[in-house]
Structures are given as C-alpha cells and as structure tokens.
Amino acid sequence: MNPQAPAVPAAGTKVLVIDDSNTIRRSAEIFLRQGGYDVVLAEDGFDALSKVSDHDPQLIFCDILMPRLDGYQTCAIIKRNPRFTRVPVIMLSSKDGLFDKARGRMVGSEDYLTKPFTKEQLLRAVEQYRRNGS
C-alpha cells in the first residue's frame, strides 16, 4: 500500500451517518467529505433503514440515543439483513461506558466512537474499517 495516496481509494466510498443531532450530522459530513468520502445522512433509525437500502453504504456510523428507534435496534435490524451483514457499523455515543460498548457488540457493531469526535478520529475509523471490510 502506498501511504501517500489515501484519498484516491476513498473516492466512491459511501458512508452513512445516523444521528438525531443536526450538529453531529453536519460535523461528520464536513469531516468525511474533506476525507474524500461520499456521505449520506439520516436523522433517525427509521430514516436510516430506507437510506441503507437505497444507497448501499460501505460503512455506517450510528448514534445510540435516538427517538423512536435507538442505535442498538437500528444496528440489529441492519445486521439481520443478509445484504448488509458485512457492512461495518460504528456506534456513536456521548457516554464512554463499558456496558454501551458491550451492548453495541452484541447487536453487531464493529466499534464505538465517543462524541464529540475529532476529524482525525472519524477518518481513522473509516480508513480502518474500509480496508478491513473490503
């Protein structure tokens, strides 16, 4: 791998960000677009379920605390679909609790990112799972 050309393979990688906070969605969108990724935004779990089917993301960031359908339920539903079983899901939460991380793993998430996250943390997570997942 050529470490000097990470932005080229990023092109065409679609990332779905699910969060009920407009601020978090916008921050993630800006950071990911600067990293060369295509970004799809969803404001809750129900919105996310239709966008997953419509856009076929290669990676999903999913907030845990959302109204109507929380992040655990959303992740479990996505992972139950054979089409999306192998799509990495990274849970987002403002809590850095061991229980939250364990529960996320139980529903199929690959990792956990604590909010607020930095641009570097977000892009590092995408790079790690984009390589491992493809």
Answer yes or no: is 99 within a domain: yes
SS3 67: coil
Which residue range is the domain that position 77 belongs to? Answer: 12-133
Query: pLDDT tens-digit profile of 2-34?
Result: 344 344 456 689 999 999 999 999 999 999 999
For 76-105, the pLDDT digits (tens) are 999 999 999 999 999 999 887 888 889 999
- With a cut of 70, say whether residue 107 has pLDDT above it: yes
What's the confidence (pLDDT) of residue 97? Answer: 81
Token couple for 55: 């856009």
CATH code at position 71: 3.40.50.2300
pTM for this prediction: 0.89
Answer yes or no: is 5 within a domain: no
Sign, Cα dihedral of 33, 102, 95, 124: negative
pLDDT value, residue 95: 82
pLDDT digits (tens, 9 = 90+) for 66-77: 998 999 999 999
Task: Kindly tell me if the per-residue pLDDT of 106 is higher than 60.
Answer: yes
**Helix locations, the chain, DSSP H:** 7-10, 22-34, 45-55, 71-80, 98-106, 119-133
Q: Is the pLDDT of residue 119 over 90?
A: yes
- The reply to whether 108 falls in a domain is yes
